[in-house]
Amino acid sequence: MPRHLADLVLPSAVLWDMDGTLLDTEPHWMRAETELVEAHGGVWTYEDGLSLVGNPMLVSAVRLQEHGVVLAPDEIVDFLNTRVGAAVAAEIPWQPGAEQVLADLRAAGVPMALVTSSYRSLAEPFAAAAGVFDVVVSGDEVARPKPDPEPYLTAARLLGVDIGDCVAVEDSGAGIASAVASGARAVAIEVMQPIAARPGLSRVASLADLTLPALARIVRGEVLDLRRAS
């Protein structure tokens, strides 16, 4: 670590959401949802897609059934994961700044977890390709997915760290609720939807804002608002 960063007190771990936060996969999810609904004679709008951002997979499957998809929930989930998995396999759609902050944290020796509502069949290949995550907690491996705090509490337990000494980074309402409820220092990145201010929640416009000094400030209790002026 460079000398000017050596005295920073960094988080015990950083816990990352995947879709929307690290990866620009939400357009892939929306395309897969649209394809599926239209194949069953229904209509799926951009607003419909936005309403599913951050939801547990089976919750999303029920919404798609309500729009005319005549498949079992598990079949819907398999279809969506297959479509999005193929897109990610073709080229990892990193969000701006993601690769740099992951590399900086790895170089500083900070443990990291991937905490996602997506299923392990999608999360594990990405985690393996990224090569920086110590733990993966996927949506099909918890009893109570986001917005419940269980996924983030599980990640901290598996890493052997206190959740209060962790920073959790999210982009969706359900994910932010999960991170805040867990007791982690929560950071929201504005991607598909504006993020309202709430006590204890830092907000950034890009992962490029999450430098090691910024993460050190957040974990010691500062609430940052690093969004760009409109």
Catalytic member of 17, 19, 171, 209: 17
Q: Is the dihedral of CA 173, 116, 146, 214 positive or negative?
A: negative
The verdict on whether 104 is a catalytic residue reads: no
Name which of 142, 161, 160 is nearest 150 in CA terms.
Answer: 142
With helix as H, strand as E and coil as C, how does the chain read?
Answer: CCHHHCCCCCCCEEEECCECCCECCHHHHHHHHHHHHHHCCCCCCHHHHHHCCCCCHHHHHHHHHHCCCCCCHHHHHHHHHHHHHHHHHHCCCECCCHHHHHHHHHHCCCCEEEECCCCHHHHHHHHHHHCCCCEEECHHHCCCCCCCCHHHHHHHHHHCCCHHHEEEEECCHHHHHHHHHHCCEEEEECCCCCCCCCCCEEEECCHHHCCHHHHHHHHCCCCCEECCCC
Both tokens assigned to 78:
């398999």
Enumerate the active-site residues. 17
